[in-house]
Amino acid sequence: MVQIINGREIARDIREKIRERVEQMPIKPKLAVILVGDDEASHLYVGLKQRACEEAGIGFELFLYPADASEPEIVSKIQELNARTEVTGILVQLPLPSQNADRVVLAIDPKKDVDGFHPANLENLKNDHPTLVSATALGIMKLITATNEELRGKQAVLVSGERFAEPLEILLAEQGVASEVVSPDDPHLKEKTQQGDILIVAVGRPHLINGEMIKNKAIVLDVGTNKIAERTIGDVDQESAAEAASWITPVPGGVGPMTVAMLLVNITKAWDLQK
């Protein structure tokens, strides 16, 4: 019988602890978000982040740009926010419509990069230095450890891009878990996903993974978010996956709430790093 990893419940506890911590801070942290374009999902995610910040007592500023905004204009705003001492964290909502995400993220002060994507933060993570780590990666690790399964010696398979996978590979290795990153277009996808004691899928393709592609008793983390006829579903066919997996995250209610909760954790950590 598959067990559900309840991301909403775990996230609720984390958010309450952050709210209590922010209440004790002499100067409240503030998040600045840059949102480019009209993508419906991006606007939804930013709204969730704003609500979470407001509930925790964290300041929030939103900067909206049209889809065709120039890269120099966005970078100029980031540099202005870097210099503002009351701004604790800077987040550029990805994906960007056409601008180069790597160059835009590179402009963020690493100590304010609450998404944890700056190369300097990845380097710090590799070298075990205090740093800001991808909120999604941190959230996934919290969900995995919530199963109370013995992780050392397990094999993880990550069906995703390299940017998403890199911090996760490092965090998994710290727990003694070996990782393999697999393209969703790999001709041997099924054979490779069947090797994963832990299967993490973050592609954005509904029902990419079904029960036949999952190792018996695997822990499955479904990071995908897809809108189908007003319903939100993940990348994993939850019904057939339930026949094989021992644990699975639902969509919605799994990785999404945890990403928002760990973003709040990162904002308070950025405050510590700066103060």
Q: What are the catalytic residues? A: 49, 93, 115
Range of the domain at 192: 135-254
d(CA 5, CA 221): 9
Q: In terms of domains, do 152 and 228 share one?
A: yes
Residue 200: helix, strand or coil by DSSP?
Answer: strand
- pTM score, two decimals? 0.95
The gap from C-alpha 243 to its chain's centroid, in whole angstroms, comes to: 27
Among candidate residues 170, 172, 168, the one with its CA nearest the CA of residue 126: 170
Is 271 a domain residue?
A: no
Last residue of a domain, one of 63, 80, 112: 112
Query: In this predicted structure, what is the pLDDT of residue 227?
Result: 85
Is 92 a domain residue?
A: yes
Q: In terms of domains, do 95 and 141 share one?
A: no
d(CA 93, CA 72): 17
The residues, ordered by sequence, that sit 6+ positions from 99 with a Cβ below 8 Å of its Cβ are 36, 69, 71, 74
Q: In terms of domains, do 186 and 248 share one?
A: yes
Tokens of 125: 């993570």
Q: In terms of domains, do 89 and 139 share one?
A: no
The answer to whether 4 and 246 are in contact (CB under 8 A) is no
Among candidate residues 262, 272, 240, the one with its CA nearest the CA of residue 2: 240
Is 164 a domain residue?
A: yes
Is 90 a domain residue?
A: yes
Is 244 a domain residue?
A: yes
Is 124 a domain residue?
A: no
Q: Is 188 exposed, middle or buried (0-12, 13-18, 19+ CB in 10 A)?
A: exposed
Query: In this predicted structure, what is the pLDDT of residue 58?
Result: 98
Question: Residue 220: which CATH number?
Answer: 3.40.50.720
Q: In terms of domains, do 37 and 105 share one?
A: yes
Q: In terms of domains, do 172 and 104 share one?
A: no
Q: In terms of domains, do 218 and 177 share one?
A: yes
Among candidate residues 67, 1, 83, the one with its CA nearest the CA of residue 34: 67
Domains identified in the chain, total number: 2
Tokens of 182: 């697999």
Q: In terms of domains, do 157 and 219 share one?
A: yes
The answer to whether 3 and 135 are in contact (CB under 8 A) is no
Q: In terms of domains, do 154 and 47 share one?
A: no
Is 168 a domain residue?
A: yes
Question: Residue 67: which CATH number?
Answer: 3.40.50.10860
Per-residue DSSP letter, 26:
S
The answer to whether 158 and 165 are in contact (CB under 8 A) is yes
Compute the C-alpha angle 105/110/114, nearest 5°: 75
Q: In terms of domains, do 165 and 213 share one?
A: yes
The answer to whether 269 and 23 are in contact (CB under 8 A) is no
Q: In terms of domains, do 34 and 100 share one?
A: yes
Is 64 a domain residue?
A: yes
10-residue averages of pLDDT along the chain (275 residues): 96 98 97 96 93 98 98 98 98 96 97 96 95 97 98 98 94 98 98 98 96 98 90 95 97 96 98 93
